[in-house]
């Protein structure tokens, strides 16, 4: 299979003469992106759509492997093509697999050209990513579609629903991200000494990840000392660690585009009153959840189980967020282990399980693993130890 790079005329229509074809072709090796496009095409057929306009860069990367910051992917029931401006032409031709790459002149609307090209290929009933489209852009889309007699259908979460089930390549990437995240946690714990600040430790965690192969952090590291640990998404500050304080670390490396996610809670010095009992309650809840959660269970049922287990220790009211979410190209993806998710968890999803208790003024305890949902239950990706044993 070959990727052919064509150049669009300035009026948005395409010529077939050789003068408009860029002398640049890239052979496609491997069929992974093609299979993902076919999964999308199968979903299009179930909705009686001719195609979909994909504008979210993360979703474009999922299907094609191209991860530039600008582009429009069009997937029809019979083909797939990617429109980019000249800045990304060479890169897209090298990265994008399983689809035609079309370079659009500068200051030309990619979406407008995409609708025209889809129309040229007899795709007249198109979906678009309404959750990633502004009102202004949507109005331009509608205007152009009406002129071409093309119907548009909003498809919020369309590609995201396909992304819920990870393929083997994705799970391998998530394994690598988890392994580097585990290593970074070990490194961070070795740096814990009274006097180090939250922000300094956060920076050292990020530096370690990048130095050992991460393309980025999956999210800014959460480093919370003492009473700050009761804030689930605390932003590291200049606050310095003292003896006898709780340390909550929530970190993730991004490797090959895929995100790790891991939380551990420990103490430097003698634990504060009530810490050991609450820690063991959270850990017991995590272990029970990892044994209980199965594909086919509703996301809301998994969340309810977390509260049921914590209720055994009179701590259910102190879990203030859903007990988990999927990870992949983004750190928070569907499916969610949350009260609002009444859909069954699919085989092949990779999710976090992160029970916690947060006591304002005292601190918090969160312990989090990443797991693959297999036919028989959960398989852990993260392996960092759970022990809170005081660091001296």
Second-level CATH architecture of 2-163: 3-Layer(aba) Sandwich (3.40)
| pLDDT reported for residue 111 | 86
Instruction: Enter the tokens of residue 199.
Output: 């922000």
Instruction: Enter the tokens of residue 19.
Output: 């003068």
Instruction: Enter the tokens of residue 64.
Output: 């094609």
Name the residue among 166, 177, 163 with its Cα closest to residue 256. 177
Give the pLDDT confidence of 187-228 residue by residue, as tens digits: 999 999 999 999 999 999 999 999 999 999 999 999 999 999
168-380 matches 2-163 in CATH topology: no
The answer to whether the CB of 346 falls within 8 A of the CB of 334 is no
> Higher pLDDT residue, 110 or 265?
265
The answer to whether the CB of 345 falls within 8 A of the CB of 314 is no
Alpha-carbon span 91 to 86, nearest angstrom: 10
> Quick check: 278 pLDDT over 90?
yes
The domain segmentation of the chain, as residue ranges, is 2-163, 168-380
pLDDT band for position 9 (cuts 50, 70, 90): very low
| pLDDT reported for residue 334 | 97
By CB atoms closer than 10 A (0-12, 13-18, 19+), residue 137 is middle
> Quick check: 244 pLDDT over 50?
yes
Q: Kindly provide the b/e burial profile for residues 231-266, where b requires at least 16 CB atoms within 10 angstroms of the residue's own CB.
A: ebebebeebbbeeebbbbbbbbbbbebbbbbbbbbb
Alpha-carbon span 298 to 301, nearest angstrom: 5
Partners of residue 363 on adjacent β-strands:
359
Give the pLDDT confidence of 144-178 residue by residue, as tens digits: 888 888 888 999 999 999 999 999 999 999 999 99
Percent of the chain's residues with pLDDT above 70: 90
Name the residue among 61, 41, 79, 70 with its Cα closest to residue 158. 41
Give the pLDDT confidence of 339-364 residue by residue, as tens digits: 999 999 999 999 999 999 999 999 99
Name, in order, each residue with C-beta under 8 angstroms of 275's C-beta and a sequence gap of 6 or more: 246, 267, 363, 365, 388
| pLDDT reported for residue 392 | 58
3-state DSSP call for residue 14? coil
Alpha-carbon span 139 to 141, nearest angstrom: 5
CATH C-level class of 168-380: alpha beta
Question: Which ranges of the chain does DSSP label H, i.e. alpha helix?
Answer: 32-46, 57-64, 89-95, 110-120, 135-147, 158-163, 168-191, 198-211, 275-292, 299-311
Does the bond joining 335 to the residue before it have cis omega, within 30 degrees of 0? yes
Please give the C-alpha separations between residue 328 and each of 59, 133, 160, in angstroms, as whole numbers.
11, 22, 10
**What is the average per-residue pLDDT within 109-130?**
90
Instruction: Enter the tokens of residue 182.
Output: 């585990």
**What is the average per-residue pLDDT within 55-69?**
93
pLDDT band for position 32 (cuts 50, 70, 90): low
- pTM beyond 0.85: the answer is yes
The answer to whether the CB of 267 falls within 8 A of the CB of 365 is no
pLDDT band for position 141 (cuts 50, 70, 90): confident
CA angle 289, 295, 297 (to 5 degrees): 70
């Amino acid at each position: 299979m070959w990727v052919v790079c064509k150049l669009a005329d300035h009026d948005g229509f395409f010529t077939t003469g050789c003068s408009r074809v860029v002398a640049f072709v890239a052979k496609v090796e491997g069929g992974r992106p093609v299979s993902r496009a076919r999964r999308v095409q199968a979903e299009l057929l179930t909705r009686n759509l001719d195609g979909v306009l994909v504008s979210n860069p993360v979703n474009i990367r999922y299907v094609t492997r191209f991860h530039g910051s600008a582009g429009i992917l069009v997937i029809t029931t019979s083909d797939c093509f990617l429109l980019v401006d000249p800045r990304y032409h060479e890169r897209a031709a090298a990265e994008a697999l399983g689809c035609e790459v079309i370079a659009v002149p500068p200051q030309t609307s990619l979406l407008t050209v995409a609708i025209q090209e889809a129309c040229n290929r007899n795709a007249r009933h198109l979906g678009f990513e309404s959750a990633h489209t502004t009102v202004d852009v949507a109005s331009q889309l509608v205007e152009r579609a009406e002129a071409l007699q093309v119907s548009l259908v909003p498809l919020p979460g369309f590609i995201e629903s396909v992304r819920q089930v990870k393929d083997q390549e994705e799970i391998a990437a998530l394994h690598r991200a988890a392994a580097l995240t585990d290593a970074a946690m070990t490194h961070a714990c070795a740096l814990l000494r009274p006097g180090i600040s939250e922000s300094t430790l956060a920076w050292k965690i990020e530096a370690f990840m990048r130095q050992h192969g991460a393309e980025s952090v999956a999210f800014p590291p959460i480093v919370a000392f003492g009473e700050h640990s009761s804030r689930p998404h605390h932003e590291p500050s200049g606050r310095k660690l003292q003896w006898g304080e709780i340390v909550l670390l929530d970190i993730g490396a991004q490797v090959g585009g895929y995100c790790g996610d891991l939380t551990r809670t420990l103490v430097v010095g003698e634990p504060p009153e009530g810490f050991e009992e609450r820690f063991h309650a959270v850990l017991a809840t995590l272990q029970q959840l990892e044994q209980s959660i199965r594909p086919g269970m509703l996301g809301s049922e998994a969340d309810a189980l977390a509260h049921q287990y914590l209720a055994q220790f009179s701590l259910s009211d102190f879990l203030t967020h859903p007990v988990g979410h999927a990870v992949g190209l983004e750190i928070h993806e569907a499916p969610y282990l949350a009260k609002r998710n009444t859909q069954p968890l699919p085989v092949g999803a990779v999710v976090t399980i992160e029970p916690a208790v947060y006591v304002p003024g005292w601190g918090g305890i969160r312990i989090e693993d990443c797991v693959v949902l297999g036919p028989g239950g959960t398989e852990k990706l993260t392996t960092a130890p759970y022990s809170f044993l005081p660091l001296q």
